[in-house]
Structure 1
Amino acid sequence: MNINILAGGPEEFLPNLHEYSGENDIWVGVDRGVYSLINKNLTPVIGFGDFDSVSKEELQVIEGHVKEMKRYKPEKNETDMELALNWAITQEPVLIRIFGATGGRLDHLLANVHLLVKPVLEENPVNMVLIDNQNILSLKGPGSYKIEQRADKKYISFVPITLDVKGITLEGFKYPLENRHITIGSTLCISNELISDYGTFSFSEGILLVIRSND
Structure 2
Amino acid sequence: MNIGIVAGGPENALASLISYRKDIDIWIGADLGAFYLLKNQLPIHIAIGDFDSIDKDKKELIQQEADIFREFPMEKNETDLELAVEAALSYHPASIFLFGVTAGRLDHELANIQLLYRLLEKNVRAKIIDHKNILSIYKPGQHKVTAKNTELISFIPLTPSVEGLTLQGFYYPLENYTVTWGSTRCISNQLINEQGTFLFNDGILIMIKSTE
Interval containing the TM-score (normalised by the shorter chain): over 0.9
Per-residue CA deviation, residues 38-68 of structure 1 (Å, 9 max, x unaligned), is 1221121011100001111111111111131
The 1-side partners of 2:23 and 2:157 are apart by 35
**2:175 corresponds to which of 168, 173, 178:** 178
C-alpha contact 1:160 1:185 (8 A) present in aligned 2: no
Q: Which consecutive residues of structure 1, in runs of 5 or more, have no partner in the other structure?
A: none
- CA shift for structure 1 position 23: 7.1
The 2-side partners of 1:180 and 1:151 are apart by 24
Give the corresponding residue for 2:86: 86
Residue type matched to 1:107 in 2? D
C-alpha contact 2:149 2:192 (8 A) present in aligned 1: no
- CA shift for structure 1 position 2: 1.2
**2:127 corresponds to which of 126, 129, 138:** 129
Q: Which consecutive residues of structure 2, in runs of 5 or more, have no partner in the other structure?
A: none
C-alpha contact 1:139 1:208 (8 A) present in aligned 2: yes
Q: CA RMSD in A?
A: 1.3
Residue type matched to 2:10 in 1? P
Aligned partner of residue 22 in structure 2, secondary structure: coil
The 2-side partners of 1:6 and 1:53 are apart by 14
Give the corresponding residue for 2:77: 77
- Which piece of structure 1 moves more, 33-42 or 18-27? 18-27
Residue type matched to 1:112 in 2? N
Give the corresponding residue for 1:20: 20
- CA shift for structure 1 position 150: 1.9
Per-residue CA deviation, residues 77-104 of structure 1 (Å, 9 max, x unaligned), is 1111011112212312222111111112
Residues 23 and 7 from structure 1, CA distance in 2 versus in 1: closer, same or farther, beyond 3 angstroms? closer
The 1-side partners of 2:61 and 2:194 are apart by 46
C-alpha contact 1:141 1:206 (8 A) present in aligned 2: yes
Aligned identity (percent) is 46
Give the corresponding residue for 2:143: 145
After TM superposition, which residue ranges in structure 1, 4 or more long, deviate above 3 angstroms?
none
Q: Normalized against structure 1, the TM-score is what?
A: 0.94
C-alpha contact 2:149 2:194 (8 A) present in aligned 1: no
Aligned partner of residue 5 in structure 2, secondary structure: strand
The answer on 1:191 being equivalent to 2:178 is: no
The 1-side partners of 2:161 and 2:90 are apart by 30
- CA shift for structure 1 position 193: 0.7
Give the corresponding residue for 1:40: 40
Residue type matched to 2:79 in 1? T
The 1-side partners of 2:54 and 2:130 are apart by 22
C-alpha contact 2:149 2:190 (8 A) present in aligned 1: no
What is the aligned length?
Answer: 212
- CA shift for structure 1 position 73: 1.0
- CA shift for structure 1 position 197: 2.5
Aligned partner of residue 57 in structure 2, secondary structure: helix
Q: Normalized against structure 2, the TM-score is what?
A: 0.95
Q: 1:99-118 residue pairs with structure 2 within 5 A?
A: 99-118=99-118
The 1-side partners of 2:179 and 2:143 are apart by 18
Residue type matched to 2:48 in 1? F
